[in-house]
Amino acid sequence: KKDSATMSYFFVTTGMAIFMLIGLTIIIDVFQKRWWLQLFIDNGVNPMIGYVGFANILWPILVLNKWEPVIIEMTSTAPFMGFLRGFGYTAIVALIVVVFTRFKLFLRT
């Protein structure tokens, strides 16, 4: 059974979100470092591609080229290698989203 949400949880997560918003606003607007966060900005503009990108773009490419079993075999040796596999998949999907966003290809609900 899932635990019910508490008021403390709502206040803590709201506070963390506000601090992140303030910090990112300072980095982007005050320090003019937008290019540091451009990958995240592009993924935020086009999130639906990110949601379906792995299952509908990246994974079929890996399976059709027979790379998936090789990647699984190489990264199943240690927990850190599994983390690197997940990080790599996420980075590739994020870059795919950037390409879609730059070409103005948006997936809307």
Q: Is the dihedral of CA 31, 35, 38, 40 positive or negative?
A: negative
Low-confidence spans in the chain with pLDDT less than 50? none
Q: What is the mean pLDDT of the chain?
A: 94
- The reported pLDDT for the residue numbered 109 is 72
- The reported pLDDT for the residue numbered 108 is 83
- The reported pLDDT for the residue numbered 3 is 85
Q: How many residues can be counted in the chain?
A: 109
What are the pLDDT digits (tens) for 80-95? Answer: 999 999 999 999 999 9
Query: Burial, 39: exposed, middle or buried (Cβ in 10 Å; 0-12, 13-18, 19+)?
Result: middle
